Amino acid sequence: MADIDALVAELTRTEKLALVRGAEDPEGTATGYLPGVPRLDIPPLRLVDGPLGIRAEGERSTAFPATLAAAATFDPDLAREQGAAMAREARAHDQDALLAPGVNVLRVPHCGRNFEYLSEDPVLASDCSRALVAGIESEDVIATVKHFVANNQETGRTTVSADVHERTLRELYLPPFRAAVEAGVGSVMTAYNRVNGTHMSDHEPLLSDVLKDEWGFAGYVVSDWYGLESTVGAANAGLDVEMPGVPSGPDDPDEEFEWPDGIPDGTRAGLFGEPLAAAIDDGSVPADRLDDMVARVLGQMARIGLLDGRDRPGELDSERHRDLARDVAARGTVLLENDGVLPLSDDADVALVGPHVHDAKLGGGGSSETTPFHSVSPVDGLTDRAGGPVTSARGIPEIENVSLFDLLPFVDSGHETDDSDGPDEEPSLDAAVAAAEDADVAIVCVRDATTEARDRDSLALPGRQDKLVEAVAAANDRTVVVLRTGGPVETPWRDDVAAVVEQWYPGQADGAALADVLYGDRDPSGRLPVTFAPEESYPTSDERRFPGVDDVAHYDEGVFVGYRHFDASDDEPTYPFGHGHSYTTFEYGAATAVSDATVEVTVENVGDRAGRDVVQAYVRPPAVEGIDRPVREFAGAQPVALDPGESRTVTLALDELALSRYQDGWTVDSGRYTVEVGRSVADMRTTVTIER
């Protein structure tokens, strides 16, 4: 590996500045670009969007399911495979750093970017974060974990301050980032928002004291795009790279343009250019800070082989990537309700209804948008699999796609959306009802519409989709509703339908994965990584907490987010954290403690079908006077695939985070901890105690 200190010593200051401020990519494919230093054989560094697949401008890539779908598998090994596959595709597009994964905890169910994130629980989010990062980095691509930290809403995201106590930060919002650092992440992206009044790009206590000094992060910290607030403050706080470094805006510089809420001012760029040079000259920023910034960038370039000419071939749209996208989509599908209508019989007469049954639901809007080489709609997927007839009807008008790029008329995303490829005739509710009446089973596919830079106004399904479900359910008592959403939604018709399936945003394999699950070729093994509940019952339903008052979002709920809140309140969730049915039945034996951090339980498939369960562990801490802790905390999970009659002993390692609390440092209280083992936070099958 190159001698980074010696290389830095050879650079002129102009060359150093070019390595910490983004520039225009001459090839026009990268999201962010550092030009390198040809004189010293330092090549360019290309950064590319990629939480759901590679968003290289004008190029196609495998469209993987939403990150939330990967989290719903509760399988870090599968997440690691996806991370590695996305890295190989990045290399195929000649990109070096992947702007992924997003690991912010789901605090606000309305957040327009929840589909890119992992969970409402810090242990599950950390497990997935660690796995995705390890997968990306294993293929000689720099992973960029984002958005550091407390970026939990899109409303006012460039100005809002997260007013959050240190205990809450430490126990809930920081762990997924620490997990990424432990996995060897090469880059951390700062959030737009402020934390306790200070913009994250200027936040020295979090960037330098926690991230770099306490955790030992050796990579570089990059700003979110146009997310740099100052030159001196950011450089001294620990920010290393400004992106994109070049201004953006209307083609006519004299045109008046009001930047929408949630969109940073693209004309503010170049703060790490001449302003940084001036700050070094006047002593506001030490010269060795610039050397450190450059060394951190070069260190990551060297680690992935850019400085030694290492051969880094890529892989694009390969059969194994297609299979993986389908596997993640199917494995992440959650069966929320089922009265026996599923799985479908091969010869069932099926009516497939919904405004987008002819479209694959690729993802949400914004920087995660991808354009696949091919995709499979629900109509195509079910038609290819079915043994009986499949009749389709849209029923109601399409749901309008929303995207960050729609808010910026002068920006072309360069990517296709998942607009309808279906028939041109006007949708007819009567036709949908008639199709449902004539069918053995009616399947209604519904979706929400979420995007970066905008939060949802409501958890209700947009358009007339609820009316469509109600009409179809009235016509056929064997109605299955398939949700394709970026997070929790209201399900007011759930008592009137036979089954409810949550598919999230399934990506390019949409229809094929859906058919796999509906026909029982795969057991629905996804579990909820986020609680579904009535809109008004979430802790952030208070305006003070979300979207905030006077540009401050008060995290008054502390660590009581998601299932922790519902455990501690009288509010009942619709579908609890960890919930998900199978097509078979599992029985649990008695749990035993192997150590004070490990438990075992025997699980048996007592049904007549093969299936996959997700064995989950939760910890109830001992009471400590004056300390308000959650009733229980998720401590880990293990998927297990079993044939009929097969049993297996499952070992569950309890994450130390679930046993700990933060108060001027980490503490594990002495006493007896009850470990609950079961199928969700509301379905415990056995308990065992451990002593600490």
Distance CA 67, CA 176 (A): 14
Q: Which is nearest to 190 in space by CA: 140, 229, 246, 231?
A: 229
Query: Which residues on adjacent β-strands are paired with residue 686?
Result: 677
Asked if 621 and 659 touch (Cβ cutoff 8 Å), the reply is yes
- pLDDT band with cut points at 50, 70 and 90 for residue 414: low
Asked if 56 and 93 touch (Cβ cutoff 8 Å), the reply is yes
Distance CA 443, CA 478 (A): 9
Question: What integer pLDDT is reported at residue 228 of this predicted model?
Answer: 96
- pLDDT band with cut points at 50, 70 and 90 for residue 413: low
Question: Which string of DSSP letters, residue by residue, matches 389-418?
Answer: -EEEE--SPPPPP--GGGG-TT----S---
DSSP-based three-state secondary structure for 662 = strand
Query: Which residues on adjacent β-strands are paired with residue 442?
Result: 351, 479
Residue ranges of domains in the chain: 4-244+260-303, 319-537, 584-691
Ramachandran area for residue 244 (φ above 0: left; ψ -120 to 50: alpha; else beta): alpha
The string of pLDDT tens digits covering residues 72-108 is: 999 999 999 999 999 999 999 999 999 999 999 999 9
The string of pLDDT tens digits covering residues 192-241 is: 999 999 999 999 999 999 999 999 999 999 999 999 999 999 999 999 99
Q: Which two tokens stand for residue 598?
A: 């490990």
The string of pLDDT tens digits covering residues 36-68 is: 999 999 999 999 999 999 999 999 999 999 999
- pLDDT band with cut points at 50, 70 and 90 for residue 2: confident
- pLDDT band with cut points at 50, 70 and 90 for residue 486: very high
Q: Which is nearest to 490 in space by CA: 480, 498, 481?
A: 481
Asked if the model's pLDDT at residue 123 lies above 90, the reply is yes
Q: Which CATH superfamily is domain 584-691 in?
A: Immunoglobulins (2.60.40.10)
Question: What integer pLDDT is reported at residue 563 of this predicted model?
Answer: 98
Q: What pTM does this model have?
A: 0.97
- pLDDT band with cut points at 50, 70 and 90 for residue 412: low
Question: What integer pLDDT is reported at residue 137 of this predicted model?
Answer: 98
Distance CA 176, CA 76 (A): 13
Question: What integer pLDDT is reported at residue 277 of this predicted model?
Answer: 98
Which H or E run contains 48? strand 45-49
Asked if 487 and 115 touch (Cβ cutoff 8 Å), the reply is yes
Asked if the model's pLDDT at residue 658 lies above 70, the reply is yes
Distance CA 403, CA 630 (A): 37
Q: Long-range pairs for 433-438 at CB < 8 Å and ≥24 separation?
A: 433/471, 433/472, 433/474, 433/475, 434/393, 434/475, 435/351, 435/353, 435/391, 435/392, 435/393, 436/351, 436/353, 436/472, 436/475, 436/476, 436/479, 437/475, 437/476, 438/349, 438/351, 438/391
Looking at domain 319-537, which CATH architecture does it have? Answer: 3-Layer(aba) Sandwich (3.40)
Asked if 151 and 194 touch (Cβ cutoff 8 Å), the reply is no
- pLDDT band with cut points at 50, 70 and 90 for residue 312: confident
Asked if 405 and 412 touch (Cβ cutoff 8 Å), the reply is yes
Share of the chain above pLDDT 70, in %: 98
The string of pLDDT tens digits covering residues 493-549 is: 999 999 999 999 999 999 999 999 999 999 999 999 999 999 999 999 999 999 999
CA dihedral 273, 274, 279, 280 (to 10 degrees): 80
Pairing of strands 187-190, 220-222: parallel
Directed axis angle between helix 122-137 and helix 175-182, to 10°?
30
Question: What integer pLDDT is reported at residue 23 of this predicted model?
Answer: 98
Question: What integer pLDDT is reported at residue 517 of this predicted model?
Answer: 98
E strands along 106-213, which residues? Answer: 142-148, 161-163, 187-190, 194-195, 198-199
- pLDDT band with cut points at 50, 70 and 90 for residue 363: very high
Q: Which is nearest to 671 in space by CA: 659, 683, 658, 686?
A: 659
Share of the chain above pLDDT 90, in %: 93
Asked if the model's pLDDT at residue 459 lies above 80, the reply is yes
Asked if 529 and 577 touch (Cβ cutoff 8 Å), the reply is yes
Question: What integer pLDDT is reported at residue 309 of this predicted model?
Answer: 87
What average pLDDT does the segment 339-344 reach? 98
Distance CA 332, CA 632 (A): 24
Domain 4-244+260-303 has CATH 3.30.930.10: no
* The residue count for the chain: 692
Question: What integer pLDDT is reported at residue 402 of this predicted model?
Answer: 82
Rounded to the nearest integer, the mean pLDDT of the chain is 96
- pLDDT band with cut points at 50, 70 and 90 for residue 1: low
Question: What integer pLDDT is reported at residue 421 of this predicted model?
Answer: 63
Question: What integer pLDDT is reported at residue 415 of this predicted model?
Answer: 53
Can you say how many angstroms the Cα of residue 113 is from the centroid of all Cα atoms in its chain?
Answer: 8
Q: Which is nearest to 32 in space by CA: 43, 47, 13, 16?
A: 47
Active-site positions read: 224
Question: What integer pLDDT is reported at residue 136 of this predicted model?
Answer: 98
Task: List helix spans (H) across 476-595.
Answer: 510-518, 563-568
The string of pLDDT tens digits covering residues 557-577 is: 999 999 999 999 999 999 999
